[in-house]
Amino acid sequence: MGVFGHKTVSMTAKIRLYVDHPLGDGQTVPLDRDQAHYLFGVMRQQEGADVALFNGRDGEWLAQVTQAGKRGGELTCVRQTRPLQMPPDLWLLFAPIKKARTDFIVEKAAEMGAAKIIPVQTEYTNSERIRQDRLQAHAVEAAEQCGGTYVPEVTDLQRLDRLLADWPSTRRLMFCDEAEAGAARALGAAPRGPWAILIGPEGGFSVTERAKLHGLPFAHVVSLGPRILRADTAAVAALTVWQQALGDWDGPQSD
């Protein structure tokens, strides 16, 4: 029994590890130096120990340690314990904020089932640089800790205006504008399919950006209630609204 978050997950291995390697019956999986240090040094595992592996593609596998060394090691897959559980086709676009809260948004997006996480630069975005590799590592860690079998891709920082100029015509955009009270319930009548959620920057959207966003044919404006939410709170609230109305909270999407 591994315990994550606020509920208990049944599985035989306590340690979950993301690996960038194919998984399958009898498949051997080499460990790099960092993974070996974590598994054998920090977690004190030895040969024969059970580890849960996932790679974001092949579901979750029970594996056994078949070689343990200081600089590497090897695991061998025993059996699949869970199939791949893909999230809905949902992107989360957000303007990076302070480091800890940006990390938090990525972690929460992975937990809440976003398929892709896109940091965007808006007119009022403060930080012009992000560490994409660090944010991707946060998404991996969130998936490891929370029992996920899928890891959302975190892209490099993209300019919002360019992203919207090249927007795929079939993807709808949920744009959270708290000036629009009462619109949140209306999302239930919106069509399913590919979607994105856009969370604004700390400084708000510029007048130009706001006018442009409201005029986009694929944009749906929703409210997140009468209180002002920080961007990280707004991200979780918006993901909740979307997942409940159009996502997989009632089971896998049918279309």
Contact set with its own copies (CB under 8 A): 3-9, 85, 87, 95, 104, 108, 111-113, 145-148, 176-179, 181-182, 184-185, 199-204, 223-231, 233-234, 236-237, 239-241, 243-244, 247-251
Q: Write the DSSP string, 73-90.
A: EEEEEEEEEE---PPPSE
Which of 93, 124, 99 has its CA nearest to residue 201? 124
Closest approach, Cβ 234 to its own copies, in A, equals: 5
Query: Considering the complex, what minimum distance in angstroms separates the CB of residue 143 from its own copies?
Result: 10
The answer to whether residues 11 and 80 touch, using CB atoms and an 8 Å cutoff, is no
Give the helix/strand (H/E) hosting 35.
helix 33-36
**Residue among 65 and 164 whose Cβ is closer to its own copies:** 164
Nearer to its own copies, 50 or 178 (CB): 178
Q: How far apart are CA 153 and CA 134, in angstroms?
A: 12
Yes or no: say if 29 and 53 are a contact pair by the CB < 8 Å rule: yes
Q: Closest distance between its own copies and the C-beta of residue 8, in Å? A: 4
- Taking the least distance from each CB to its own copies, the nearer of 22 and 225 is 225
Among residues 40 and 209, whose Cβ is nearest to its own copies? 209
CB of 178 to its own copies, least distance (A): 5
Q: How far is the CB of 30 from its own copies (least distance, A)?
A: 28
Q: Which is nearer to its own copies, 40 or 242 (CB)?
A: 242
- For residues 235 and 105, what is the distance between their CA atoms, to the nearest angstrom? 7
Report in angstroms how near the CB of residue 146 gets to its own copies at its nearest.
Answer: 5
Q: Which residue is it, tokens 């929370």?
A: 146
Nearest residue (CB) to its own copies, 159 versus 185: 185
Instruction: Compute CA distances 102 → 57, 93, 131, 142, 247, whole Å.
Output: 26, 12, 11, 14, 23
Report whether 238 contacts 176 (CB < 8 A).
Answer: yes
